[in-house]
């Protein structure tokens, strides 16, 4: 209960700004009606409780299941088995993702039935399964993530020129809708498990990126469907929006359907896990009992969360969008920015990603800076989406294509860990709140502006939200890498070779070399060229000012991972080795090597 209480406090801090903004609008500009306001407040309470229970259930169930399934994938010697199992995990976890089901039904209604939601869901899920397989092979073979995603999005950018605006918006929206409250925690757990088992010097950055890889699948899948079927434009009559009446009745009406959706969402991947548990894992009863309790908590929390979002938040978002668009189009842009600033912080998957960043980085990449960047990026994205609705000359591809193209280019200059986090964040930011409240907000605005088209302008906002974190976090990662500085601790002179006293009576000396992550083997190779025979490598992070990366604008310090190499040898040899290390151009330029030499005393047990 204490852990659920901690989750509740965390969720409350992020939910409260959303409630305040909505209530301020309702008591000043927007006439939402008493029933809808009360239902929104009731939904907020349900969301608070449901999200807290859901996050606790994820810790208890989805994380262990993801770790066990990642073990099965990583230990398989058959590429065919890895491909099939990875595809099934991606397909089954996504085919019943509530966010995707919501988007599919909204597209079907908006297109007047010309696009079947069943076909959309299954085409998207096939794309997800294929990309999860590719992502798993990339991780296991330790291929560079920025190169992999650069190739993927180059292919997508080429396809974008052959599809209509409607399919461009729907394809990118589907990408965001796949990474919902259920899919993202599971794929994050799978990614972390695979990375931990694979190990290696890229283990930290390999812990991220699989969600971003997965979210690229729906884009090319739907674009290819449009090209192959030669269906370029979607024509249909949009259904008239009617606000539900009453307070409790709309909640009770939708609850059974949401519960069934949640059961269906959890069932496929749970069934796959239990089959493998019987055949392979055979985990203890105690662990199995914990997973079952976690699945029950996940089911209850997910049902409450989605019920609250669908019964109160969607209607409220639609009404606010309609009335702001009628009142003042540019006020719509400003409110869109504020909505984006705060609504992303309520997304369940954002919390899960934040916890994984905290775990993988040991707390040295502050979740605060990730959330701040996400919030700002999504705020700008939604504001630009409102500009697109208000100004007919502004098109979706003006932002999406350059945004992803710049992100790909920045990924080659960004810190590697931030690249995976950026692509994952693009998925987690576009979760249930975006697929419901924000999408309803945009469609409400598009439905009352004469020059806007709901099929073109009403969609695409999820795509913008998914693109913004990728761009903003790769930019942050680039800034993080460029602003890396090395300073000496106050009052301490740095140790250099010229400062070392001669210790003629000391037969051995210890060389300590500190380098950036990934260069330990290079140090050992250089040392061996001068006669060194062995070394001890320690992985760690800086804890003093010399190893601090300062983001002065936000007053936040990041501490990059370091590798420390210990070499013990006789004194004449140590001089040659140390000189070789400090004069190596690559180690000085890329590894930012620091070398320390100290006498080494050997103590006998007698």
Examine residue 61 and state whether it is found in any structural domain, yes or no.
Answer: no
pLDDT at 130 over 90: yes
What is the distance between the alpha carbons of residues 270 and 292, in angstroms, rounded to a whole number? 10
pLDDT at 285 over 60: yes
H-state helical runs in 234-328:
248-276, 285-308, 314-327
Q: What is the DSSP string of 443-496?
A: HHHHHH-TT--IIIIISSHHHHHHHHHHHHHHHHHHHHHHTB---PPTT-PPP-
Cβ atoms of residues 49 and 8 within 8 Å: yes
Examine residue 504 and state whether it is found in any structural domain, yes or no.
Answer: yes
CA dihedral 295, 297, 302, 305 (to 10 degrees): -170
User: 304-338 pLDDT, tens per residue?
Assistant: 888 887 777 788 888 898 899 888 888 889 998 98
Examine residue 12 and state whether it is found in any structural domain, yes or no.
Answer: no
> Which residues contact residue 463 at a Cβ distance below 8 angstroms, ignoring those fewer than 6 apart?
169, 171, 172, 173, 175, 176, 396, 400
What integer best gives the mean pLDDT of the chain?
77
What is the distance between the alpha carbons of residues 190 and 184, in angstroms, rounded to a whole number? 10
The answer on 414 and 513 residing in a single domain is no
The number of residues in the chain equals: 606
Cβ atoms of residues 241 and 447 within 8 Å: yes
By DSSP bridging, strand 561-570 and strand 594-600 are: unpaired
Burial class (CB in 10 A: 0-12, 13-18, 19+), 585: exposed
The answer on 427 and 511 residing in a single domain is no
> Which residues contact residue 370 at a Cβ distance below 8 angstroms, ignoring those fewer than 6 apart?
353, 354, 357, 421, 425, 473
Q: Which of 34-43, 197-206, 235-244, 439-448 has the lowest mean pLDDT?
A: 235-244
pLDDT confidence bin for 503, thresholds 50/70/90:
very low
pLDDT at 150 over 80: yes
Q: Retrieve residue 162's tokens.
A: 């052959």
Of 481, 505, 531, the last residue of a domain is 481
Residue 480 pLDDT:
65
Of 451, 481, 511, the last residue of a domain is 481
Q: What is the DSSP string of 354-399?
A: HHHHHHHTTT-S-HHHHHHHHHHHHHHHHHHHHHHHH-TT--THHH
Nearest partner of 458 among 386, 381, 380, 379, judged by Cα: 386
Residue 600 pLDDT:
65
Examine residue 300 and state whether it is found in any structural domain, yes or no.
Answer: no
Domain with 541, as residue range(s), is: 497-600
Number of domains in the chain: 2
The answer on 393 and 252 residing in a single domain is yes
User: 47-98 pLDDT, tens per residue?
Assistant: 888 888 887 888 888 778 877 887 788 777 788 888 888 898 888 888 767 7
Cβ atoms of residues 40 and 22 within 8 Å: yes
Apex CA 139: angle with CA 136 and CA 142, to 5°?
150
Q: What is the DSSP string of 385-438?
A: HHHHHH-TT--THHHHHHHHHHHHHHHTTS-HHHHHHHHHHHHHTSSHHIIIII
Phi-psi region of 197 (alpha: psi -120 to 50; beta: other; left: phi over 0): alpha
Residue 507 pLDDT:
60
The answer on 506 and 576 residing in a single domain is yes
The answer on 358 and 210 residing in a single domain is yes
Of 452, 481, 510, the last residue of a domain is 481
Examine residue 202 and state whether it is found in any structural domain, yes or no.
Answer: yes
| Arithmetic mean of pLDDT, 148-171 | 84
DSSP lists the bridge partners of residue 538 as 564
The answer on 345 and 228 residing in a single domain is yes
Q: Retrieve residue 394's tokens.
A: 């502004």
The answer on 367 and 222 residing in a single domain is yes
| Arithmetic mean of pLDDT, 451-460 | 75
3-state class of 550 per DSSP? strand
pLDDT confidence bin for 358, thresholds 50/70/90:
low
Looking at per-residue confidence, does 77 or 253 come out higher?
253
Residue 74 pLDDT:
72
Cβ atoms of residues 519 and 587 within 8 Å: yes
pLDDT at 181 over 70: no
User: Cβ–Cβ contacts within 10 Å for residue 66, how many?
Assistant: 25
| Arithmetic mean of pLDDT, 102-119 | 73
CATH of the domain at 523: 3.30.70.120
What is the distance between the alpha carbons of residues 353 and 367, in angstroms, rounded to a whole number? 9
pLDDT at 514 over 80: yes
pLDDT confidence bin for 356, thresholds 50/70/90:
low
The answer on 201 and 335 residing in a single domain is yes
The answer on 532 and 410 residing in a single domain is no
Examine residue 138 and state whether it is found in any structural domain, yes or no.
Answer: yes
Residue 168 pLDDT:
80
What is the distance between the alpha carbons of residues 414 and 557, in angstroms, rounded to a whole number? 17
Q: Retrieve residue 126's tokens.
A: 């096939």
What is the distance between the alpha carbons of residues 577 and 581, in angstroms, rounded to a whole number? 6
The answer on 551 and 423 residing in a single domain is no
Residue 292 pLDDT:
92
Examine residue 168 and state whether it is found in any structural domain, yes or no.
Answer: yes
| Arithmetic mean of pLDDT, 179-193 | 75
Q: Retrieve residue 34's tokens.
A: 């008493």
What value does the CA radius of gyration of the chain take, rounded to a whole number of Å? 27
Q: How far is CA 47 from CA 96, 229, 254, 452, in A?
A: 21, 41, 15, 32
Calculate what percentage of the chain has a pLDDT beyond 90: 3
pLDDT at 204 over 70: no
DSSP lists the bridge partners of residue 508 as 570, 600
Residue 296 pLDDT:
92
What is the distance between the alpha carbons of residues 300 and 319, in angstroms, rounded to a whole number? 28
Examine residue 117 and state whether it is found in any structural domain, yes or no.
Answer: yes
The strand order across the sheet containing 561-570 reads: 536-541, 561-570, 508-516, 594-600
What is the distance between the alpha carbons of residues 450 and 301, in angstroms, rounded to a whole number? 40
Residue 362 pLDDT:
56
The answer on 584 and 470 residing in a single domain is no
What is the distance between the alpha carbons of residues 305 and 363, in angstroms, rounded to a whole number? 29
Residue 539 pLDDT:
67
The answer on 227 and 329 residing in a single domain is yes
CA dihedral 431, 437, 443, 444 (to 10 degrees): -170
Residue 317 pLDDT:
85
Q: Retrieve residue 427's tokens.
A: 């998925």
């Amino acid at each position: 209960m204490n852990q659920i209480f901690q989750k509740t406090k965390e969720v409350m801090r992020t939910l409260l700004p959303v409630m305040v903004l909505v209530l301020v609008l309702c008591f000043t500009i927007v006439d939402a009606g008493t029933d809808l306001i009360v239902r929104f407040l009731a939904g907020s309470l349900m969301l608070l409780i449901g999200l807290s229970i859901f996050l606790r259930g994820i810790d208890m169930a989805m994380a262990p299941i993801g770790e066990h399934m990642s073990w099965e994938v990583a230990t398989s010697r058959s590429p065919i088995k890895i491909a099939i199992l990875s595809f099934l995990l991606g397909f089954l976890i996504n085919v019943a993702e509530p966010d995707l089901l919501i988007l599919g039904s909204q597209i079907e209604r908006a297109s007047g039935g010309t696009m079947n939601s069943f076909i959309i869901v299954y085409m998207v899920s096939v794309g997800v399964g294929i990309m999860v397989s590719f992502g798993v092979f990339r991780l296991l073979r330790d291929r560079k993530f920025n190169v992999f995603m650069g190739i993927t999005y180059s292919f997508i950018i080429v396809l974008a020129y052959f599809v209509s605006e409607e399919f461009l918006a729907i394809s990118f929206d589907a990408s965001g809708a796949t990474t919902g409250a259920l899919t993202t925690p599971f794929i994050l757990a799978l990614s972390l498990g695979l990375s931990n088992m694979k190990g290696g010097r890229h283990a930290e950055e390999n812990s991220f990126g699989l969600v971003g890889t997965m979210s690229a699948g729906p884009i090319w899948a739907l674009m290819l469907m449009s090209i192959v079927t030669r269906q370029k434009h979607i024509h249909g009559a949009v259904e008239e929006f009617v606000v539900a009446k009453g307070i409790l009745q709309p909640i009770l009406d939708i609850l059974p359907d949401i519960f069934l959706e949640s059961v269906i969402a959890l069932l496929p991947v749970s069934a796959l896990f239990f089959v493998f548990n019987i055949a392979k894992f055979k985990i203890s009863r105690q662990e199995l009992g914990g997973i079952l309790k976690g699945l029950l908590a996940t089911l209850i929390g997910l049902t409450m969360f989605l019920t609250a979002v669908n019964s109160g938040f969607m209607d409220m978002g639609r009404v606010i969008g309609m009335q702001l668009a009628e009142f003042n189009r540019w006020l719509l842009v400003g409110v869109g920015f504020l909505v984006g600033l705060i609504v992303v912080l309520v997304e369940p998957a954002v919390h899960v990603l934040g916890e994984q960043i905290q775990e993988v980085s040991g707390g040295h990449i502050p979740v605060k800076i990730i959330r701040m960047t996400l919030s700002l990026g999504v705020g700008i994205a939604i504001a630009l989406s409102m500009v697109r609705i208000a100004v007919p000359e502004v098109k979706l591809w003006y932002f999406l294509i350059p945004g992803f193209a710049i992100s790909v280019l920045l990924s080659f200059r960004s810190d590697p860990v931030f690249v995976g986090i950026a692509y994952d964040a693009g998925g987690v930011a576009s979760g249930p709140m975006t697929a419901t409240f924000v999408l309803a907000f945009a469609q409400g605005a598009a439905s009352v502006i004469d020059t806007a088209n709901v099929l073109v302008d009403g969609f695409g906002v999820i795509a913008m939200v998914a693109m913004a974190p990728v761009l903003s976090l790769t930019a942050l990662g680039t800034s993080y890498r460029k602003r890396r500085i090395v300073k000496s601790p106050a009052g301490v002179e740095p140790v250099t070779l010229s400062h070392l006293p001669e210790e003629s009576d000391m037969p051995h000396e210890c060389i300590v070399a500190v380098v950036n992550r990934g260069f330990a083997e290079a140090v050992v190779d250089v040392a061996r060229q001068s006669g060194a025979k062995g070394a001890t490598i320690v992985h760690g992070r800086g804890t003093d000012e010399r190893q601090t990366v300062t983001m002065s604008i936000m007053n936040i310090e990041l501490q990059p991972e370091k590798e420390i190499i210990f070499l013990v040898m006789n004194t004449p040899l140590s001089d040659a080795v140390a000189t070789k290390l400090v004069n190596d151009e690559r180690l000085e330029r890329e590894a930012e090597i620091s070398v320390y030499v100290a006498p080494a005393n050997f103590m006998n047990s007698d």
